[in-house]
Structure 1
Amino acid sequence: MFSFISRRLLAGLGTLLVSTFAMYLLVSKSIRPFEDLESLTDGAVKAQRIAERTEILDLNTHPVIRYFKWLGDFVTGDFGVGWRSGQPVSSLLQGAVASTIQLVAAATVIAIILGVMIGIVSALRQYSSFDYITIFLSFVLYSLPAFWVAVLLKQWGAIGFNDFLKDPSLSPLVIAVAGALAGTAWMLAFGGTARKRLITFGSAFLVTVGALYYLQLSNWWLQPNLGPVIILITGTALAFAITALTAGLQNRRALGAALSTVALGLALYYPLRSVLRAVDSWALVGGLAVLTIAVGIGIGYLWGGPDRGISARSAAITAFLVASMIFVDKVMSIWPAYLKAPAINGRPLATIGDATPNLGGNFWVGTLDSFTHLLLPTIALVLIQFAGYTRYSRSSMLEVMSQDYIRTARAKGLPERTVIMRHGFRNTLIPLATIVPIDVITLLGGAIITEKVFARPGMGTLFIDSLQGAEVDPVMAYLVIVAALAIIANIVADLIYAALDPRIRVNA
């Protein structure tokens, strides 16, 4: 393992050196540092400004020599200065990296979960109506221009929802159509006999219509909350679903451990809300999340059984999700005051930036404000990424389910859930192990179009603005970070390959 990582890192450093050298020469050749001076009519002033800028940027030195000067400074921790703004590149990167990570983290996790889940269901129901609709939607979303999706979301997502909040009421027709769409989607996903399809459609229709009427009658749009009842219902459903996927509902100990975490979460609902009032940083939130997972693992081991690991896994996942709902409920409680803030003026969904100027408030107000700014760009990225992950996971699952070892597992009499989850799903992830790390690093480099449309000060925006402003140091710092992360992503992909496929050895 150590030998493998060492070899890959050395090869990566060589690649990084060559790529930065080539990029420095290309950037030096392509930028126009005197473009803003071309409009000057006074020849003497123009010549003086050109001479000053030539000295500042050291343009009389050959680009190869300038590269090695830059490289020496960069290795010693001096990333340079943006000569137009006068700000150190390190401070520019800190804000840009933080903004991009906020956006990428949520979008990537949601896109992977939804894309893989729907892709696998589509593969298991090959040639069904659900499969054809999934293929059609994935190709449509994959081909949509990112800027067009972003603009539509700004128009109908932000402006439309903000206008809706002035009189938050849904007509019976809208509620009925939403229920019919939900019922149709679940019916196609589950399939089965005509009777089963009708029951699925009716159940999903009634649940959707009932939920929407509850939201309307309780004035939920202006005073949103989850509360113990919704957390109980949702947590119980999640406990059954997670146990069914990870252990099977016949494993009563795993199911009992998962349901116990739901009960514990409800018992601690009000005490946890008091604890959360004192939280003032994401570091504390992360610590509480780790503690929650540890408690879930402990509950799983306390339930015992021949395989405590499965019970611990089910309980830990359920505990994390229940705690996440309590966290979201706390954020929702800030919504009424947030709407009334002068800086918000009753229009909470933002279309530009990553924070509301002059908002003020504590950690929870800032968290809610970040969420409202992240919502639309996250949806834009999820729609594009989701289409790709759906296609990849579907094709991979179809290939895996046609293998001989799947037929052997079924012939041995294993339950279908075991065949799909333990034999099919694990091997389906192998091709995705290459795609996901590279996609994450690509997005960390900046979702340039999305960031530009929503005016988020992320890595992509920094790169474009610096390149247009002829600032070499920020551009090179950006390129080094993206290239280094791409190299690390390839190494991580190889390690994930080895973890998923026992036939692969990294020390071979």
Structure 2
Amino acid sequence: MFKFVLKRIGISLMILFFASFLVYGLTVHSGDPLADLREQNDANRQNRIDQRVAQMRLNDPWIVRYGDWLRGILGCVRLQCDFGENRSGQDVNALLANAAESTIRLVLLATILGILVGVFFGVMAAIRQYSGFDYSVTFIAFVFYSLPAFVFAVLLKEFGAIRFNNWLAEPAFNTVFIVLVAGIFAVFVQAIIAGPMKNRIISGAVAFAAAAAVFVILDVTDWVDNPIAGLWMPITTGIAAAVMFTALLSSITNRRAIFSALGSAGAMVLLVVIFAERLEQPTWTFLIVLLLAGVALAVVISQVFGGYAKRSITWASIWTVVSVGFAVLVDYLARNWSDYVELVRGRPISTIGSMSPNFRGADDFWLSLLDTSTHLILPTLSLTLMSVASYTRYTRSSMLEVLGQDYVRTARAKGLPEHTVMTRHAFRNALLPITTIVAFDFASLIGGAVITEKVFGWKGMGELFETGLRNVDPDPVMAFFIVTGGIAVLMNMLADIMYAYIDPRIRR
């Protein structure tokens, strides 16, 4: 495996070298870097032209300039990367650091959400093949997959920000809206539930009543303007997560499993209570340490009280703790929501930029996190839904292929529970082609983020690339190329390693 990884690294570096040579050559021949100065009529024009020629070394052959750029990149081996300077003399290293942080934050979140949602819907569509749910998911996936990124981003700005902010001025849920949304949720739930029609009708009715009740409570309590926060949120989430992950990863009839998951949730809630004062103004380091402490307690509880099948019980407990940790984040954000809305003058969902200019709550951890999160919503949603479409289609196809294999029929013939057949036998083998897609999708999302960032006014990798290409300035363009190309190589390497983890046969 080690030799294989080294061989792949060597091949990838060769590909990056030849690709960088091609991209550099295409960039320097894509236009005239002095075009904007030639069109000016001021007396200082020739002096400015001479300064730019000297700054960009336009009198040198482009191959010589490429060689100097390559020597600067090779300095990364000594952790001293030099991406050069743009035509204004600014250090591309500093520009790249700011741009990459903004874009990778956006793309990483979109990738994680796309995988979770897309894989879930793909698996459910495969299990409910040729059902109404399957047809609906497939249709929606094709719509999002075919919709141009800029069109979808513009629609999100109009309906997800402008009109939604207008509604937030006087939020109210009318009867038609409640019935419509609750009805859609009921259809979704009954489509997922397996079994006879009677069970599906009951499940749909319960889902409709629950969704309608939630909207009525939100309307009566004015929750949108003043979210009701408190310890009930992580407690409720912990109970729900314990039941769900125990049912998915172990068995709901296993008392030791359900008690271990509930105990882990209780331990995490206890940590939150103990450090409640520290959570008023935490740091990311403290939050990560707190979550790791909860995970450690979950592992101990599962190993001591889990009984048999400790591995699956441990994972169920860990995911329960992670769910409680996420609920704590949501709880504290809800506590600060009203203050944040007041600071942004009643329009919390932003349509431009990655942060509010001159934001007065920048020194407050939760207000700053709210500002960052609300700016992430629309561009992340734009990228996520396009990823969800591809993950859903590929997961459905992969699951259907695996479900027809002999070992799945054998597992069912042995009398294994259906959830065990799906999670341990079918889903794990269906992950192999999906792993490849994830590797390519992460790098392609960075390229697709160029359009999304343009629509939402983000100062990220997209702007760096676009500005460099428009100015016929190769160094910023090459910085974009090295980051995206390097990530593509890294993700493919991780995909190979994940293959060995998912399929033990590859390790041999």
Q: TM-score, normalised by structure 1?
A: 0.95
CA distance in 2, matches of 1:413, 1:194: 24
Indicate the SS of the match to 1:249: coil
Tell whether the 8 Å contact from 2:260 to 2:306 is kept in structure 1 after alignment. Answer: no
Cα distance change on mapping 1:351 and 1:59 into 2, 3 Å = same
Contact conserved, 2:145 with 2:386, CA < 8 A, in 1? yes
Partner of 1:468: 470
1:246 maps to what in 2?
A: 249
> How many angstroms does 1:238 deviate by?
1.5
Query: What residue number does 2:178 align with?
Result: 175
Amino acid at match of 2:193: F
SS at match of 1:360: coil
Residue by residue, what CA displacement relative to the aligned partner does 1:321-353 show, whole Å, maximum 9, x if unpaired?
111101211122111111111xx1111110000
Q: Distance in 2 between matches of 1:58 and 1:12?
A: 30
Q: Percent identity?
A: 40
SS of the residue corresponding to residue 127 of structure 1 reads coil
Specify every segment of 5 or more residues in structure 1 that has no aligned partner in the other structure, as ranges: none
Q: Is the 8 A contact 1:273 1:330 kept in 2?
A: no
Task: Name the counterpart of 1:78.
Answer: 82
Aligned to 1:273, the other structure's residue is in SS state: coil
SS at match of 1:30: coil
Map of 2:211 onto structure 1: 208
Q: Indicate if the aligned counterparts of 1:446 and 1:459 stay in contact, CA closer than 8 A.
A: no
Q: Which moved more, 1:99-108 or 1:364-373?
A: 99-108
Superimposed CA distance per residue, residues 38-95 of structure 1 (whole angstroms, 9 cap, x where no aligned partner): 32246x75444333322221111111111111111232322212222x3211111111
Aligned partner of 1:309: which letter? R
Residue of structure 1 equivalent to 2:305: 303
Supply the distance in 1 between the matched residues of 2:44 and 2:325 (Cα, whole angstroms). 65
Contact 1:451–1:457 (Cα < 8 Å) also in 2: yes
From 193, 198, 201, give the equivalent of 1:198: 201
Aligned position for 2:24: 24
Structure-2 separation of matches of 1:463 and 1:436: 23
The aligned residue for residue 64 of structure 1 is: 63
- Say if 2:353 and 2:375, in contact at 8 Å, map to a contact too: yes
Alignment of 1:438 onto 2:437 = no
- Counterpart for residue 387 of structure 1: 389
- Residues 113 and 103 from structure 1, CA distance in 2 versus in 1: closer, same or farther, beyond 3 angstroms? same
Q: Give the match's secondary structure for 1:227.
A: coil
| Counterpart position of 2:374 | 372
Counterpart Cα distance in 1 of 2:487 and 2:22:
18
Describe how 1:118-267 pairs up with structure 2 within 5 A: 118-267=121-270
CA positional deviation for 1:222: 1.0
Q: Which runs of 5+ in 2 are unaligned?
A: 76-80
Match of 1:458 among 460, 474, 480: 460
What is the aligned partner in structure 1 of residue 333 from structure 2? 331
2:39 is paired with a residue of what secondary structure? coil
SS at match of 2:468: helix
Q: Report if the CA contact (8 A) 1:300-1:314 is conserved.
A: no
Match of residue 78 from structure 2: none
Task: Supply the AA of the counterpart residue of 1:298.
Answer: V
Q: Which shows bigger deviation, 314-323 or 218-227? A: 218-227
Flag the 1:234–1:60 CA change in 2: closer, same or farther, 3 A. Answer: same
CA pair 238-173 structure 1, distance change in 2 beyond 3 A:
same
The one-letter code of the counterpart of 2:116 is: I
* Aligned CA distance change for structure 1 residues 445 and 225 (closer, same or farther; 3 Å): farther
2:111 corresponding residue in structure 1: 108
Root-mean-square deviation (CA), in Å? 1.7
Q: Using the alignment, how far apart are the partners of 1:218 and 1:268 within structure 2?
A: 29
TM-score (norm 2): 0.95
SS of structure 1 residue aligned to 2:169? coil
